[in-house]
Structures are given as structure tokens and as C-alpha cells.
């Protein structure tokens, strides 16, 4: 029996750790960020769609998409973000569906940071929210991306509030502690899902 389990949360909330634990435990993980990265490579569908819509302003000197330039523009321009999402979401969702359809059995984890924002709950049988308090989220994001607090908060506020996601999800994994603690919670959630067969 095939079941799709969504993994969501906020930026720098620990989703990658949870996804990696699922992989370690032998489960298939479809990572939407990796799909975006693949589709954004030169002459791939998302690259071509952005180039057609926005012209070469977003390219670096080698002709690749300049992610940093894109990121700064998106977070300062809500209309542009909406336009880019409208282009990228259908392409990414189509690829996620293709990958799900190619797996015949077992639990499939799909890491989608903007699962609720993009209204993709329909793809999932259950949803896990990876949660931590905002103060720690800001600290982790600043350290990870080498950015200041204002930019970190702008990135965080561009997504749905983590407390809202936590309320909507079937399971919540608190990622504030040690990696071993997170792993224990993941194992417990998987056991609960499998127990509900």
C-alpha cells in the first residue's frame, strides 16, 4: 500500500534533518527544493519559463539563474513573488506527481516547505510539521545563510506562520533539541502511521 506523507515547516526549521532521517530509515523522499533546483538549470523548464517572462536580468555572467539576486527581489516585491510562484508551482507539482506515480508501494515522504501556502495537502495522506520557536528559527537562518536579522525575518514572514502550520498538521516534530531527539520523534511518528494501517 502506497501512502504519501508531507513534510513541511518554516525556513530553517529543520525539515532537511527530518527528510534525511527518513532516508536513513530506508524511505523514499521527494524533495521539492531539489526539484526546483533541477528545473532551474540552464535550458530546463523553469529556467526557460523565467527567461521568457522576465528576460536575462536574473542571469549571472555564465547565463545561469542568479538565485541570490532572485531571492532579494522576491522578498522585497510581493507581486513579483506571486508571478514567479504562478510559473513555478505547476511545473514543480507535475514533477512531484510523476515521482509519486513511479513508486509502487510503502511510505513516500514529500518535503514541501510551502505545502499549505500552495494548497498541496491534497497530495498527502498525512502531514508532518517540523516546528521550532521563532527566536531559534531566526538564529539558525542567520547562521545558515550569513544574513542579518532583518533579512532573516523578511524571509520567515514571507511564509505562513509556523504556529498555523503546526495546528493544521497531523503530526508535529519539535526540532529545537539535539538531532537524536528529532530522530526519536520521527521514528515515533512513522510507527504511528504504520500502526494505523
The whole-number average pLDDT for the span 3-11 is: 96
Residue-level pLDDT at 157: 87
For residue range 116-132, what is the model confidence (pLDDT) as tens digits? 999 999 999 999 999 99
Which CATH number fits the domain that encloses residue 170?
3.40.50.300
Residue given cell 506571486 in the structure block: 82
Q: How many structural domains compose the chain?
A: 1
Residue-level pLDDT at 197: 54
154, pLDDT greater than 90: no
Residue-level pLDDT at 146: 93
For residue range 174-183, what is the model confidence (pLDDT) as tens digits? 999 999 999 9
Predicted structure pTM score: 0.89
Give the list of residues 6+ apart from residue 183 with CB closer than 8 angstroms, or none.
21
| Sheet architecture: strand order including 106-111 | 28-31, 106-111, 2-9, 126-131, 171-174
Helix crossing, 45-54 with 32-39: angle to 10°? 60
Residue-level pLDDT at 196: 67
Distance CA 114, CA 9 (A): 8
> Domain containing 45: what range?
2-195
77, pLDDT greater than 70: yes
For residue range 44-68, what is the model confidence (pLDDT) as tens digits? 999 999 888 888 888 888 999 888 7
Top-confidence range, 63-67, 134-138, 155-159: 134-138
Q: Are 127 and 6 in contact (CB under 8 A)?
A: yes
Give the list of residues 6+ apart from residue 98 with CB closer than 8 angstroms, or none.
none
Q: Residue 176 has what DSSP assignment?
A: S
Write down the mean pLDDT value for the chain.
Answer: 92
Least confident span in 11-15, 27-31, 75-79, 102-106: 75-79
Tell me the percentage of the chain whose pLDDT exceeds 90: 75
Amino acid at each position: 500500500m502506497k501512502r504519501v506523507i508531507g513534510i513541511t515547516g518554516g525556513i530553517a526549521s529543520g525539515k532537511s534533518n527530518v527528510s534525511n532521517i527518513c532516508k536513513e530509515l530506508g524511505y523514499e523522499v521527494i524533495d521539492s527544493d531539489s526539484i526546483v533546483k533541477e528545473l532551474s538549470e540552464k535550458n530546463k523548464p523553469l529556467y526557460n519559463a523565467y527567461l521568457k517572462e522576465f528576460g536575462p536580468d536574473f542571469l549571472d555572467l555564465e547565463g545561469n539563474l542568479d538565485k541570490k539576486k532572485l531571492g532579494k527581489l522576491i522578498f522585497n516585491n510581493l507581486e513579483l513573488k506571486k508571478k514567479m510562484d504562478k510559473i513555478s508551482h505547476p511545473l514543480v507539482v507535475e514533477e512531484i506527481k510523476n515521482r509519486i506515480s513511479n513508486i509502487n508501494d510503502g511510505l513516500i515522504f514529500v518535503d514541501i516547505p510551502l505545502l499549505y501556502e500552495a494548497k498541496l495537502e491534497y497530495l498527502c495522506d498525512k502531514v508532518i510539521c517540523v516546528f521550532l520557536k521563532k527566536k531559534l528559527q531566526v538564529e539558525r537562518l542567520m547562521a545558515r545563510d550569513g544574513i542579518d536579522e532583518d533579512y532573516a525575518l523578511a524571509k520567515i514572514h514571507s511564509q505562513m506562520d509556523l504556529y498555523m502550520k503546526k495546528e493544521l498538521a497531523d503530526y508535529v516534530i519539535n526540532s529545537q533539541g539535539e538531532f537524536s531527539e528529532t530522530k526519536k520523534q520521527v521514528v515515533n511518528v512513522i510507527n504511528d502511521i504504520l500502526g494505523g494501517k
